[in-house]
Amino acid sequence: MREPFPVPDSGDGGDADRAPGADEAAEVTAELLHAVVRRLRRGAQQELAPLGLTWGQLRLLRTLATAGGPLRMGDLARRLGVVARSATSVVDALEAGGFLARQGDPEDRRATRVVLTDAGADVLGAVRRRRSAVAGHLLSRLSAEDGATLRRLLSELVAAGDQPGAGPSSRPRT
């Protein structure tokens, strides 16, 4: 199989802080990860387009589904990492589509909570099935062992990204 990008030799990893070619290897790795994510996202978008949903709307629906119950608008915006006005615009569109509903907050009459509707849960299920099929097709090229290794490595990268100060200066030395 032909490599889509040249994969440089990382060198011998001697006493230097970074092995020769490590920066180039990191760039190639980032490009490869980006290419895989683009493929997965295209598959999800093929499922979203007929439903009239955007990627941002799907993200909001997933956030609600994993919240374990209704969320106040401010809490939803914080979880999404957006300003409240942006969340409100997305909620407006999803409410108009019947995918979520607003309800009063019993603890604070001034606050509004957002809850996933059955239609929202159904659309999430459909998108998950499509995404799983696309990912399954893409990953079927890997052996079971390689798939497990990939999941372990990606999990480590995700966990490292959640640590304070995770960035170029805090990457582990090899």
- Inside any domain, residue 2: no
Structural domain count, the chain: 1
Q: Does residue 110 fall inside a structural domain?
A: yes
CATH of the domain at 98: 1.10.10.10
Q: Is residue 83 part of a domain?
A: yes
For residue 44, tell me if it sits in a domain. Answer: yes
* Confidence class for position 12, pLDDT limits 50, 70, 90: very low
| Residue at 171 is within a domain | no
What residue type is 86 in one-letter code?
S
**Residue range 73-103, pLDDT digits in tens:** 999 999 999 998 989 999 999 999 999 999 9
Helix (H, G, I), strand (E, B) or coil at 108: strand
Residue 110 CA neighbour count, 13 Å, CB half: 1
Stretch 141-159: mean pLDDT, rounded? 91
Please give the pLDDT value at position 172. Answer: 39
Is-contact 42 62, C-beta < 8 A? no
Identify the domain containing residue 57 by its residue range.
25-140
Nearest-5° Cα angle at 116, 125 to 49: 50
Q: Is residue 30 part of a domain?
A: yes
Q: Which residue in 122, 123, 102, 121 sits closest to 113, CA to CA?
A: 102
Q: Specify if 133 maps to a domain.
A: yes
Determine if the pTM surpasses 0.85: no
Give a yes or no: residue 170 inside a domain.
Answer: no
Residue the block writes with tokens 């582990």: 172
